[in-house]
Chains A and B, each alone.
Chain A
Amino acid sequence: MEHIQQYQEKEFTGKGALWPFLKRLFTYSIKHKRWFWSFVISVMVVAVSDALFPLIWMYFIDNAITPAAKMYWEAKQQGLTPQVNYGQLWFYIGLFFANAVVQVIGVFFFIRFAGYIEETVMYELRREMFGRLQELSFSYYDKSATGWLLSRITSDSQRVTELLSWGFVEVVWGITMIIACLGAMLFYNWKLALIVLGSLPVLFGISIKIRLLILNYSRKARKLNSEITAAYSEHINGIEVNKITTQETRVSHEFTRLSDQMRIASYKAAYYTAMYFPMVILVGSAAAALVLLAGANMVLAVPVGISIGTLTAFFSYATQIFLPIVDISRFYAQAQGSLSAGERIFSLIDEQPEIQDQPGAGVFNQIEGDILFENVGFYYHPDKPVLQNLNLHIKAGQSVALVGPTGHGKSTIANLICRFYEPTEGVIYIDGENYTAKTQQSLHQQLGVVLQTPHLFEGTIAGNVKYARPDAADKEVIEALELVGAGFFTNRLSEKVESGGENLSMGERQLISFARAILAQPRILIMDEATSSIDTLTEARIQQGIEHMIAGRTSVIIAHRLSTIKHCDRILLIQNGKIAEDGNHMQLMNQRGQYYRLYTKQLKHEVATRNIAEEEELLAE
């Protein structure tokens, strides 16, 4: 049972390499070439236009405002009526407006394409994951909690595609913006540019440092979040048990401990986030102050170093240069934070089904139903073999009952026949052919399986019976239901079935899943304790149905009740993964072995007590 320890979801620490993850993720968006490049270019346009505003402003002040203001002032001094010339003003207003229009167009395109990429890649990732989930074998589901798998399809895919779209917008914008601003500054005054440039390493340093701190805590928070999700899932699914054992208060109380850890972790993350902005703003302000000091000096220097417009432009660059850095570092943190989500997604997409069709596998045509186990060995985990060296030949059309104590391998044998698992040793032949050389599909289509735990899907009763053959007529549905003694459903066909069949009694669920298997008209019928929750009379009634079903097809029936198995051609007593006894009912009884004991120990006791009771009654009379 060690394997069960490994049941715990493989932990995706997110400590893997960032680069390969991003590279792989981006292949999804680059696939949409036109969107991708339009998106990148429009973001760059927006960034350049953002960087242009201070420049336009600078020229506006220097060319349109200062000289005119000066002239006006001088004119006034000389007592003349000042002449105001609006030509320059209109020109720069035009420039402002043109730049704005360009930016708006850019915004339209990048929102559109970033959004399209996000939605489409999400769609693609989900499709790939879902497709893969349908291929994976039972063994995968044995060790993966469905809640975890579900969250990969829902939230994980959202996380990583957000990185592709809005996250990427920020980097492209940030990088372009920094380059454009620095270029402009270097062009106009390299000394002041150096001051601003000098603040960049500090800003980057602080950003990365604090971001990583935040990341650390938000990772912790996310891990706790999945524990919280698991707790919700478990205790919603187990609500009936909680109520019947009156543990609601206790589990709710235990939950508060978990949510408290969550509170602390997310508070820490929020705390450092709260610290981040004030710090970068402070550094930006320091740079701006230096620009002011040096710039004002230059304005006043003789000969004049820079114009007032240049000073204001540099001042606004200095106070804004932290924005792109904030954005770039946010992307970095977001990418780091999505790494584990990405690992989960890609590991699912890459997961190879344990059972695969071999290349060039043939198909089973009409199966006769001859099943041969040749030295079959099987384990769920190497440490604990379930079957060893099992040889078994079930002839076409034969009905075989598997009986024996629980946990000794009956269901396992059934699972192997269905190829839900493959033997770890030896070979299974169906109709004389190694079944691994055929496609799973062609086998499964000819199987009728009633699993030990009946599962119904949300929908209607008819919909569930028709699951394997959606095109079946209502008449056939009714026939199948009647055959399994569930005729009372005939006028409830369109009744709603809740997820899992929660609103039906256990026995009803079994009957419906039995009818479902029958409607599939399988060549091989497998029933794993399919009637355990059905009352004896109904069972007796459906014996006819069962006999009808097993006539002409191979069937393997696992059951405990004698009434169910006595019609079978052959009974196998499975013990410790081996066939301990083999024969029909009479033969086994006569062997006076385990089978005999299994069914008489209780009976003997009963008959004895019954006789005593009857004697007592007689005496009493």
Chain B
Amino acid sequence: MKNLKKLFAILHKWKSYYLLSAVLLIVSTFFRMLEPKVLQVTIDGVISWYGSGGKEAVAITDSIGRFIFSLLPTLQPQNLLTVLTAIVLVYLFIALLRSATMFVSSAIAAQSTEKAIKRLRDNLFAYLQRLPMSFHITATTGELIQRCTGDVDTVRKFIGTQVVDVVLLSTVFLFSFGMMLNMNVTYALIAVCLVPFIFIQSYIFFKRESTVWEAHEAEQDKLTSLVEENLGGIRVVKAFAREQAEIDRFEKQNRAKLSIGLKHVDLHAQFWPLSDMLFHLQITLSILAGGYFTLNNQITVGELTAFYSYIVMVSWPMRNIGRVLSQMSMALVAIERLSAIMDAPAEDYSGITNAAVKGQVAFRNVWFKYPGTDLYVLKDVSFTVEPGEQVALMGPTGAGKSTIIALLSRFYEPEKGEIFLDGININKYSKEFLRSNIGVVLQKPFLFSTTIKRNIAYVNPEAEEEKLIEAAQAASIHEIIHIFPQGYDTMVGEKGVSLSGGQKQRVTLARTLLETPAILVLDDATSAVDTETEYDIQMALQQYTGNKTVFIIAHRVTSVQHASRIIVLDKGQIVQNGTPAQLQQEEDGFYSRIYQVQVAIENEILN
């Protein structure tokens, strides 16, 4: 019941409010128990007395009944109306107390639930933001979202209404059973004799429900991620005319979900009638016993009617226990899925948070492979970059260039070896501090679906207009934004769909340039930009990069021309490291080869 404990942990500091709400609910249930008593007193105490012309009065034997009877004025032949009015008033008073306590109890429970759930949502969100990239790359986005919304809602329903239900069911059961005991012990025991069977049956159901429901959720998840995959790549689907194949794939999964859904229905269609049957059996048995006792004058007619109400009340929880258990198993599945997120190790943000970063970067014998793979992506990489240097990283696709940046930003930790910033191992810095000192333009331009302005000012939403424009100008995007009718307030659409590839890249570049940290990294940041614009950007960047350490990952010789040093990677190893002029000397090296290619083209152009 580890999960149940987790469920309670969610209630957090609002536990005591829940307790209060439960107490009020118990009080309310107690008042509810009194209602049948009023009918009993009316029949036994009042009607029989007046009916027999004041001669015969059925004795009210139990204490609660006697108490209610004592509230009435003394019976006299002429005051029937007064007595009845008194009874009605007592009844209404009880009903009022019952309703009032019930309302306050539910309102408190609702208040605490919403607070606890808000806390859960916030925690989840913040926690997801803190989970490492390795988690996010393997996790399916759709599934994560489903958990944060659907599963949270399941938990919310559970603690909001079902925990309350459990309290309600058990008190109703205990109280009505107590009321019956108070009137007639034998009868009371008969009235609950089938309870163990109902429990056993419900428990079996609960077990089966858990497995079926888990399978159901798994199929549902598969369906969700299938649709998500499809929508994410819908343009590719259409471009290759694969619509029919996708429809077939979906149809298969949709059918799988349907059949597990029907199985789930069948399970319920088995359980409920059976449980209802037991319920009715219990009631019939009780009525039989009640009739027998009345006929043998062991209980009165009034008591029998009261008993009937209590029988229904005492069995009502049994009838609902299946529902509560079924919802509980759903909630437990939800909790487990949420725990899978909350139990994943988050990134550690502790470490040095203030230091004047100069920008010296050193890799020493760094080895690295991505978690879950067994191929080294970086092998024994060592290099040092002095503050203010402009270094170009070059090399074939998949050589490990972006990986170096990921390690430098501590998205991953090296397997062997160390990385230093200003002579201090980077794992001594807090990740937040480290990253805020490295401005990276990621290879894949990602924009948030808001305005261009808010995208550029992402790091600092309060940034002044001028600074914003300055950054945009450096990224050669200002003029274009100017042409848009809404200018900087243009919405860019989901992931920036309504901008062309080069426009997107330049907006992300401007975003990084807004706050200019000590180290600047451009990971293939201008690949989708035409050469002329790229040239403009390079010129503009000169102002920004004055004394900063700069890493440029690029493929065109023209893009790395201004670098003071070039590091060439191949298959995870550094194969060349030197100034452009030096590398040019190394015949047959990577750099001189691309240089040759380029020069050949140039010659073609210029001649």
Contact = CB atoms under 8 A, between A and B. Distances in A.
Interface stretch (B64-72, B196-204, B257-265, B413-421): B257-265
Interface in A191-233: 225, 228-229, 231-233
Contacts of A141: 231, 234-235, 497
Contacts of B530: 403-406, 560, 598
A233 B442 contact: no
A297 B103 CA distance: 33
Interface stretch (B184-192, B357-365, B478-486): B478-486
A535 B99 contact: no
A468 B241 CA distance: 8
Nearest to A319: B35
Interface in A598-612: 598-603, 605-607, 609-610
A138 interface: yes
A4 B296 contact: no
Interface stretch (B11-19, B135-143, B325-333, B383-391): B135-143
Interface string A268-309: 001101110111011001101110110011011000000010
Given A131-B247, A229-B149, A142 B304 contact: no
A73 interface: yes
Nearest to A289: B88
B301 A66 contact: yes
B193 interface: no
A455 B444 CA distance: 12
B394 A535 contact: yes
Nearest to A112: B269
Interface in B99-122: 99-100, 102-103, 106-107, 109-111, 113-115, 117-118, 121-122
Given A142-B493, A444-B241, A65 B304 contact: yes
Contacts, number: 539
Nearest to B523: A506
Contacts of A599: 531, 605
A441 B137 CA distance: 34
A4 B492 contact: yes
Contacts of B484: 1
A94 to B, nearest CB: 9
B250 A271 contact: no
A8 to B, nearest CB: 7
B527 A532 contact: yes
B295 A105 contact: no
A529 B501 contact: yes
A451 B236 contact: yes
14 contacts: A7-B491, A69-B300, A133-B231, A236-B145, A247-B458, A264-B114, A274-B107, A292-B87, A296-B84, A406-B502, A458-B225, A510-B397, A538-B397, A617-B581
Given A115-B265, A292-B84, A299-B51, A411 B501 contact: yes
Contacts of A123: 254-255, 257-258, 261
Contact of A270 (B160, B238, B396, B503): B160
A237 B496 CA distance: 12
A117 to B, nearest CB: 10
Contacts of B229: 457-458, 499
B528 A146 contact: no
Interface string A232-254: 11111111111111111101100
Interface stretch (B1-9, B171-179, B467-475, B550-558): B550-558
Query: Which of A89, A264, A289, A311 has the most B CB atoms < 10 Å from its CB?
Result: A289
A100 B115 contact: no
Interface string A495-513: 0001110111111101101
B605 A111 contact: no
Given A263-B115, A535-B394, 9 more contacts: A119-B258, A150-B142, A241-B442, A278-B100, A293-B84, A451-B239, A458-B229, A499-B232, A613-B581
B590 A537 contact: yes
Contacts of B228: 146, 150, 499
Interface string B83-100: 011011001100110111
Contacts of B146: 154
A149 B231 contact: yes
Interface residues of B, number: 183
The 8 A-B residue pairs with the shortest CB-CB distance, nearest first, are A406-B502, A115-B265, A507-B397, A274-B106, A100-B280, A270-B110, A285-B95, A278-B99
B242 A96 contact: no
A107 B51 contact: no
A337 to B, nearest CB: 14
B291 A92 contact: yes
B209 interface: no
Given A236-B145, A244-B409, A406-B528, A7 B493 contact: yes
A16 interface: no
B436 interface: yes
B125 interface: yes
A187 interface: no
B268 to A, nearest CB: 5
A175 interface: no
Given A1-B484, A535-B555, A449 B47 contact: no
B402 interface: yes
B581 to A, nearest CB: 7
A243 B435 contact: yes
A271 B236 CA distance: 48
A245 B458 contact: yes
